[in-house]
Amino acid sequence: MLAGVDEVGRGPLAGPVVTAAVILSPDDPYLGQYRDSKRVSKKKRQRLYHHIRKHAVAYSVSMATVEEIDQLNILHATMLSMRRSVEGLAVCPVRVLVDGNRIPDMSVAAEAIVGGDDKVQEIAAASILAKVVRDRLMGMLDARFPAYQFAKHKGYGTKIHMDALREYGPCPIHRRSFAPVAKYL
């Protein structure tokens, strides 16, 4: 029982960081087809998202809120969310493989793998779940805060986003500890 863990949303100026943990079935017919979520089309990502949720041995998606990011910093908030994802699995993994160069503090043996979302199917599957969930969440937040157009840029510091931030100032989902946001407080 090997779990893969990945995150989405460390770099944006707004919204939570979302993580997922996935244990894939050895019988999964899609094994070998999972890729880093950024390298998969939106349509295929949606299809894989539903497949993973239906066929994985176990999966869990968690997040760290904007408040947690501002209080802890983005790295520690990401580690907290990763730990929550692993602890949320219905099946306890024997080993956890985490995308990146750091691992969260947890009771299960873990290893960090740089570029893991391109090397390990479980990490790639976690990447897909986390991205779909965060993108959907940013779409919902776009409806709540339409002036910022979060559905278009997902909270990243694009020109559209920076122009809105300059004009309207930060909204409740902006990460106030991030320098580009702090200067508009």
What does the pLDDT average to over 49-75? 98
Task: Give phi and psi for 18, each to the nearest 5.
Answer: -115, 135
CB burial of 33-72 (b: ≥16 within 10 Å; e: otherwise) equals: ebbbbeebeeeebeebbebbeeebbbbbbbbbebebbbee
Over residues 156-171, the pLDDT tens digits come to 999 999 999 999 999 9
How is the chain split into domains, by residue range?
A: 2-142
Burial class (CB in 10 A: 0-12, 13-18, 19+), 102: exposed
Mean pLDDT across 24-51: 94
Please, what's the largest Cα pairwise distance for the chain? 52
In a 3-state reduction of DSSP, which class is residue 37?
A: helix
- List the end-to-end C-alpha distance of the chain, in Å, as a whole number: 47
Q: Does domain 2-142 have CATH number 3.30.420.10?
A: yes
Compute the average pLDDT of residues 138-162: 98
CA 137 centroid distance within chain: 11
68 pLDDT tier (thresholds 50, 70, 90): very high
